[in-house]
Structure 1
């Protein structure tokens, strides 16, 4: 069963949308064999119950990863997946979809990001948090965000 269908079956009418995000969602981009999926729920009120469903189904809860009500879960099954539950109009989700779409549309941006990912994966092979943080300024520039701290 496809990942999206499986998540919709598990979470039922709590699901508003399922979006394949991350590098595996961009043809031609280097990626780990892990599918990143954002599940937008119909209401913020549905998050707690949806989190319980994910845990009961065997997903490993990783907590509120972005501190904006985006709850992370990991499945080591086939295919390996990182699933993020988020409320409607979540800003992290919006940025991830915008970045994915820009990478799909812009070959030069996709190539530059791919080169950055390869360089960082060689430099930070065992530190996923540092790897993610090191990509932040590239991603923010690509989607037109500037941060006061210059990150």
Structure 2
């Protein structure tokens, strides 16, 4: 099991290019008001993953902003999927490709993270191995934002500002993430302290 230190350690950007194929191109970052249809959209995506992987999908979690009722978000469903060994791509990537997902990110140095993209609806499917601290962090953050309206409001505010600045500058999604990183880490650190992890 991950230690408190594993869970509370923040992830820095990779030193190597993580992209499979071409990296993202500049496009407007759009933040929309919360859509009450997002939970049902996740359920449909979850069913696709279950159909693709069966029992190989050990855990499937709706994470990210679309998983938090009332939170403005990019209209992209983020999903964490746990498999026996995320480094063993042959065990799950071809099956997911058959169901419309495409491998876009490979990060061996960061918990052997893989990210696949789905387009209809837009999905970021993050694949990790069991007991990965990042899955724990994502679920904790989701639940914290669901229960703490002040932090939810602060997060929505920085998301809108970061999206506007990134779009104005002609940046890409990684630039958007960097612009909101300080506020995200403040919320994480407050959450970790409240849970006795720091």
CA distance in 2, matches of 1:46, 1:127: 27
Runs of 4+ in structure 1 deviating by more than 4 angstroms, as ranges, are: none
Report how far residue 46 of structure 1 moved. 7.5
- Counterpart of 2:114 in structure 1 is 71
3-state DSSP of counterpart to 1:29: coil
3-state DSSP of counterpart to 2:74: coil
Report how far residue 29 of structure 1 moved. 0.7
TM-score under structure 1 length normalisation: 0.85
TM-score under structure 2 length normalisation: 0.66
CA distance in 2, matches of 1:133, 1:110: 18
- Counterpart of 2:139 in structure 1 is 97
- Counterpart of 2:149 in structure 1 is 107
| Residues 94-121 of structure 1 deviation map (CA, whole Å, 9 limit, x = unaligned) | 2111111111000000000000000000
| Residues 125-147 of structure 1 deviation map (CA, whole Å, 9 limit, x = unaligned) | 241011112222322222226xx
Over 3 Å counting, the alpha-carbon distance change for 1:142 and 1:27 in structure 2 is same
| Residues 46-89 of structure 1 deviation map (CA, whole Å, 9 limit, x = unaligned) | 74211222234331211225732121011111x21111111011
Which structure dedicates a bigger proportion of its chain to strand? Answer: 1
Q: Which has the higher contact order (CA 8 A, sep 6+)?
A: 2
How many equivalent residue pairs?
A: 144
Structure 1 residue runs without a partner (length 5+): 146-151
| Contact preservation (8 Å) 1:14, 1:46 | no
